[in-house]
Amino acid sequence: MPVLKCPICGGDVEVPDDALPGEFFEHDECGSQLELEVDENGEMRLKQAEEISEDWGE
């Protein structure tokens, strides 16, 4: 499992191998909601997750 940096607290975050671009993760250590971003070269990084919007749901 790849280990990425939390952009909020700087700690390590383990991301599962089957993680998809856009997937949300909660960083247990600091409680931040993070989002996996994959760039054109396939590099993965975490950023602060997009906020839940009023039209989200099922």
Partner 1 sequence: MTADVELIIDVPRLEEKLILEELGKLGLKFKLTNAKYTPLVWGERPAEVSLIRAVSMQRAAYCAAIREASGIRAINSAEAIVVAGDKILTLSRLWRAGIPFPETLIALNSEAAERAEKMIEFPVIDKPPIGSWGRLVTLVRDPQSFKSVIEHRELYQSQALKTHLIQRYVDGGRDLRVLVLGEEVLGVIWRSAASGDWRSNVARGGLVEVAELDEELRELALKTSSVMGGEFIAIDVFRENGRYLVNEVNGVPEFKGFMEATRINVPRKLAEYIRSILRR
Q: Which residues bind partner 1 (CB under 8 A)?
A: 18, 20-24, 35, 37, 50, 53-58
List binders of Zn ion among 14-53 (CB under 5 A): 27, 30, 32
Half-sphere exposure of 14 (CA within 13 A, CB side): 4
Stretch that binds Zn ion, among 6-14, 15-23, 41-49, 50-58 (CB under 5 A): 6-14
5 touches 12 (CB < 8 A): yes
Q: Tell the smallest beta-carbon distance from residue 41 to Zn ion (Å).
A: 25
Q: Count CB atoms within 10 A of the CB of residue 41.
A: 5
